[in-house]
């Protein structure tokens, strides 16, 4: 009895200490993320220009109807989906491949890791301008092609080429972080399992498929979700590389929100587009998590 009565105040104190440490973070999170998202949802059902003297006018689902009825905006959704899906696959393949190459620690690999991470250090705006100078009609590549007597390539002046060029540039600028994630993930692959596979005579591919890949499952999940969400938000590179062109072929949803809807003070429509992006990010994250959970369940049932 005595022990219980002594431990109760301590338990309360511990609880109080825990709560006092968590509450500031929760408040900041709610203020900076939850409240704006709630406002975004609210504004998405209104017509509003953002000015204090104007009262938001409730318009129901009009903004969503406009969004899905406009060829312009649905076009940006398609571009965003292509960028997110193709980009995420490319970023993760590139990062994983390089991580496997650079997993051993030696001077060359250390230098290689720094070089590979470097693009991520650059501002996305700088990345866009830099690649404009490389891929533009008067850029380095086309100038060299002309010098050797070959026709120049329409990297940024043809709609299809521009989209794929933009994805390439985004992949180049993003994969550094994923590379670090995969390098960290590879450090956690049990060395004894790798050794056992080697002793059993497994080939490199078999070792990768049976040992390394399953051990990287959680890393892959994080890498795919973070890269996918980054790609859904693609804005800066669009501004500096293509300006959304030619003919709107590289306009992403984020670009449309920030460069079109907000400047036109169409807060309701911009909010509806932002809500769509939030939903898309959530769907992406949940899908990847569900797929991973299912794969783990399948593995356990086999085991």
Q: Which residues of the shown chain bind another protein in the complex (CB under 8 A)?
A: 32-33, 35-37, 39-40, 43, 48-54, 66, 69-72, 123-125, 132, 136-138, 152, 154-159, 162, 233, 235-236, 239-240, 242-249, 254, 257-260, 262-267, 271, 274, 277
Q: Which is nearer to another protein, 15 or 286 (CB)?
A: 286
| Beta carbon nearer to another protein, 208 or 255 | 255
For residue 154, count other CB atoms closer than 10 A to its CB. Answer: 16
- 37/180 with CB nearer another protein: 37
Q: How far is the CB of 28 from another protein (least distance, A)?
A: 12
Residue 41's Cα: distance from chain center in Å? 22
Determine the angle formed by the axes of helices 159-187 and 107-121, rounding to 10 degrees: 130
Residue 244 CB, nearest approach to another protein (Å) = 7
Residue 155 CB, nearest distance to another protein (Å)? 7
How far apart are CB 236 and another protein at their closest, in Å? 4
CB nearer to another protein: give 186 or 272: 272
Quote the CA–CA distance of 251 and 166 in Å, as a whole number: 11
Indicate the residue among 139 and 185 with the shorter CB distance to another protein. 139
CB closer to another protein, 179 vs 274 = 274
Angle of helix 107-121 relative to helix 71-101, nearest 10 degrees, comes to 160
- Determine the longest span between alpha carbons in the chain, in angstroms: 94
Angle between helices 71-101 and 267-302 (to 10 degrees): 40
SS3 string, 40-66, reads HHHHCCEECCCCCCCCCEECCCHHHHH
Nearest alpha carbon to residue 42 among 21, 56, 31:
56
As measured in angstroms, the least distance from the Cβ of 82 to another protein is: 17
Find the shortest distance in angstroms from Cβ 38 to another protein: 9
What Cα–Cα distance (Å) separates residue 179 from each residue in 81, 122, 183, 201, 252? Answer: 23, 16, 6, 29, 25
């Amino acid at each position: 009895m005595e022990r219980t009565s002594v431990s109760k105040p301590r338990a309360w104190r511990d609880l109080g200490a825990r709560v006092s440490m968590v509450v500031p973070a929760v408040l900041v999170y709610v203020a900076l993320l939850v409240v704006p998202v709630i406002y975004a949802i609210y504004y998405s059902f209104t017509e509003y220009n953002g000015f204090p003297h104007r009262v938001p006018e409730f318009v129901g689902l009009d903004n969503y109807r406009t969004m899905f009825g406009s060829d312009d905006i649905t076009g940006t959704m398609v571009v965003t989906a292509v960028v997110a899906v193709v980009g995420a696959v490319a970023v993760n393949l590139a990062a994983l491949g390089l991580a496997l190459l650079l997993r051993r620690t030696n001077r060359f690999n250390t230098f290689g890791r720094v070089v590979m991470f470097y693009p991520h250090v650059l501002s996305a705006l700088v990345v866009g301008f830099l690649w404009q100078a490389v891929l533009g009609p008067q850029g380095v590549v086309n100038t060299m092609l002309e010098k050797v007597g070959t026709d120049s390539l329409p990297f940024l002046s043809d709609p299809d080429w521009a989209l794929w060029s933009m994805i390439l540039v985004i992949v180049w600028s993003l994969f550094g972080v994923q590379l670090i994630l995969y390098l960290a993930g590879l450090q956690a692959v049990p060395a004894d399992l790798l050794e056992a596979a080697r002793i059993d005579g497994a080939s490199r591919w078999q070792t990768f498929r049976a040992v390394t890949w399953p051990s990287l499952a959680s890393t892959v999940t994080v890498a795919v979700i973070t890269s996918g969400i980054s790609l859904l938000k693609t804005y800066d590179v669009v501004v500096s590389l293509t300006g959304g062109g030619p003919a709107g072929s590289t306009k992403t949803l984020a670009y449309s929100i920030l460069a079109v809807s907000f400047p036109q003070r169409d807060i309701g429509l911009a909010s509806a587009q932002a809500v769509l992006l939030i939903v898309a990010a959530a769907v992406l994250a949940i899908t990847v998590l569900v797929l991973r959970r299912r794969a783990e369940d399948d593995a356990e049932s086999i085991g």
